[in-house]
Amino acid sequence: MKKVLSGIQPSGQLTLGNYIGAMQNFVKLQETEECFFMVVDLHAITVPQEPAMFREQIESVAALFIAAGLDPAKSNIFVQSHVRAHAELGWIMTTLTGMGELERMTQFKDKSAGKDSVGAGLFVYPSLMAADILVYNADLVPVGDDQKQHLELTRDLASRFNSRFGEYFTVPEPYIPKVGARIMSLDDASKKMSKSNPNAGSYIALLDEPSVIRKKISRATTDSGREVKYDPANKPEISNLISIYSHCANMTIAEIEARYEGQGYGPFKKDLAEQVVNVLEPLQQKYKAIRESGEIHAILKQGAERASELADRTLAGVKEKMGFLAPRG
């Protein structure tokens, strides 16, 4: 079994894009690999967080992991800050990272653009992300387009450490699922569906009420014309909606095109809303049951204990190779 590591930040509401693009793949991976899935709270504080809301979001994301189908018996599910080795190895990786490498990160440029003041954490967090991966010697890392640069840095840092201190880290590979989707914004198909978008109508949150889902899809931007045709280059908006339909209804694009031939966008969008509701309502019921039971805390404790066992061993080996004095007595 290969080790797989991935995480989601507890900032904003998780969206249908997170579910289709990431969480569904997590569920498949846990059947065949050794998986570590975490709520990356240390990354979230690179921008200011309101404490009470932050705490709620961490617990909410963890509960959504379980509601989406992650099984604590098959996957290690935990909160990043509950495994202290992440932060310590993160500092060590920071000392091995060059300023120029961090300055080239396009995500930092995007997130810092137009801001008068930017925290140092936002600048150096790719080094912490590298530590997240290397502390488990992960073989595979599911990544989207916006994280490919960070994984390349991780690979460089693993190779740099191995060259300087002796072979130790696995150089991780990106995991690109054979079947996956990059779900785009409902108001602009040139942008990824994002929980950080200030326009709530641009995304479907996993915990949106059915009436809200129906309204958002009815107002989703469509291309000129009325043909339900998958053509990302010329009809990006309707193509995005078809992609969502395909994943929620488990139908091929050709089947969807045939079903709505000659019908126009109205009936298609109405049926799409029901397909999304049918997927999210059971997830929401599971989520509510998990939150009400309080079992998420025991799950996270168990996951952190198992993850810490491996992470602490990795960190101890790193420090030994680097020449740190180990505590005695």
Is 111 catalytic? The answer is yes
Is 148 catalytic? The answer is no
Q: Which position among 74, 111, 319, 321 bears the catalytic label?
A: 111
Backbone angles phi, psi at 260, to 5 degrees: -110, 15
Alpha helices in 82-178 (DSSP H): 85-96, 99-103, 106-112, 120-134, 148-165
Backbone angles phi, psi at 237, to 5 degrees: -70, -50
The alpha carbon torsion through 104, 96, 315, 6 (nearest 10 deg) reads 10
Q: Which residues contact 17 (CB under 8 A, 6 or more apart)?
A: 182, 183, 184, 192, 193, 194, 203
Element (H, E) at 78: strand 75-79
Q: How buried is 15 (Cβ within 10 angstroms: 0-12 exposed, 13-18 middle, 19+ buried)? A: buried
Do residues 125 and 133 lie in contact, with contact meaning Cβ atoms separated by under 8 Å? no
Token readout for 17 is: 């894009």
Q: Which position among 3, 195, 216, 269 bears the catalytic label?
A: 195
Is 215 catalytic? The answer is no
Q: Which position among 3, 115, 178, 192 bears the catalytic label?
A: 192
Q: Which residues contact 166 (CB under 8 A, 6 or more apart)?
A: 321
Catalytic residue numbers? 111, 192, 195
